[in-house]
Amino acid sequence: MSLGVSGLSVTKAQKLILSKVSFTAPSGQVTGLIGPNGAGKSTLLAALLGLTPATGTAHFHGLDLPAMPRRDRARQVAFVEQSAATEERLSVLDVVALGRIPFEAAWQSAPSPEDDAILAAALGETGMTGFAHRRFNTLSGGEQQRVHVARALAQQPRLLLLDEPTSHLDIRAQLQLLALLRRKAAEGMTVLLALHDLNLAVRFCDHLVVLDAGKLAAQGPPSAILTPALLEAVYGVRARLVADAPTGQPLIVYDDAVERISAQIPD
């Protein structure tokens, strides 16, 4: 079972933000959503979550995500934002427990033993067990992002959507987070994440969806679709793909990007 998006369009203030986007995100794989700023990556994720009105369909396990009841959707799909801060006095455990909201009975006052086990597992998978009783606000950006991922895992989603989750993290935290996503995909979760770093996308994604100005530019395995021609067309940069000797994986090396881009900026 995979996520099948078909003809998804979003119009905001009479402007077409997404135009008939269709793609497949295979289940049990990590799919990277890439494209320049303003290509419509965040809008696409918002449409899948039913947060913005959209036309078209996005089928997942026989359910049309944008159209289904929000509480039911929250039991299938979890979302991690780029960064989410709060001024509230919440412990790490309090934040992770938010992930159980879609499953809680109306007047349930305390987590059930089953919930407790789920929360403990989510903390463990993200390496945050020792932080459970720390104040969320006192954590570093990388730790806060891990707590958000733990919250998303506590929703026990079958589809995990992430909007540039690594953009405020140092490289070690980025690698840890992406490795965790790979593990979850291996366990059968479908993962779709917007990413900016193309080399990380090549290294960690099984499948890429490239958006450009609201339209689908390409989709497929990274090594098949990431070509100098595509990068030039979508990002306007000149790049080479070289093979990384130990792994044989392609590595993107940007050529005269600095000169070309500074040449475009009028004095």
Partner 1 sequence: MTRLSLPALLVLLVASAIAAVTFGPADITPGEVWSVIAHHLGLLPESPVSRLRDAIVWELRLPRVLTALCVGAGLALSGAVMQAITRNPLADPYLLGLSSGAALGAVSFALVGLTLLMPLGAFFGSLGALALALLIAGLLGGATPSRAILAGICIAALASAATSFLIFWSATGDSYREILSWLMGSLSGSLWFDAALASAALVLCTPIILAYARALDAFAFGDTAAASLGIDVPRLRWTLLGATALLTGIMVAIGGAIGFVGLVVPHAVRLMTGSRHRALLPHAMLAGAIFMLWTDTAARTLFDPRELPVGIITALIGAPVFLFVLLRYRRVT
70 contributes a contact to partner 1 by CB under 8 A: yes
Nearer Cβ to partner 1, position 126 or 155?
155
- Bridge partners of 187? none
115 contributes a contact to partner 1 by CB under 8 A: no
Residue 3 phi/psi, 5-degree rounding, is: -90, 120
Using the rule CB under 8 A, which residue among 38, 53, 61, 86 binds partner 1?
86
β-strand pairing of 30-34 with 190-194 = parallel
Q: How far is the C-alpha of 173 from the C-alpha of 238, rounded, in Å?
A: 29
Q: Are 17 and 180 in contact (CB under 8 A)?
A: no
Using the rule CB under 8 A, which residue among 56, 102, 165, 214 binds partner 1?
102
- Taking the complex as a whole, the smallest distance from the CB of residue 27 to partner 1 amounts, in Å, to 20
49 contributes a contact to partner 1 by CB under 8 A: yes
Residue 14: how many other CB atoms lie within 10 Å:
5
Residue with tokens 């990388």: 142
79 contributes a contact to partner 1 by CB under 8 A: yes
**Cβ neighbours for 79, distance < 8 A, ≥ 6 positions apart:** 45, 49, 152, 161, 162, 163
- Taking the complex as a whole, the smallest distance from the CB of residue 244 to partner 1 amounts, in Å, to 36
Instruction: Tell me the number of residues near partner 1 by CB under 8 A.
Output: 35
Question: Which range touches partner 1 (CB under 8 A), out of 7-15, 49-57, 122-130, 212-220?
Answer: 49-57
Q: Which residues bind partner 1 (CB under 8 A)?
A: 46, 49-51, 70-75, 77-79, 81, 84-91, 94-95, 98-99, 101-102, 104, 106-109, 148, 155
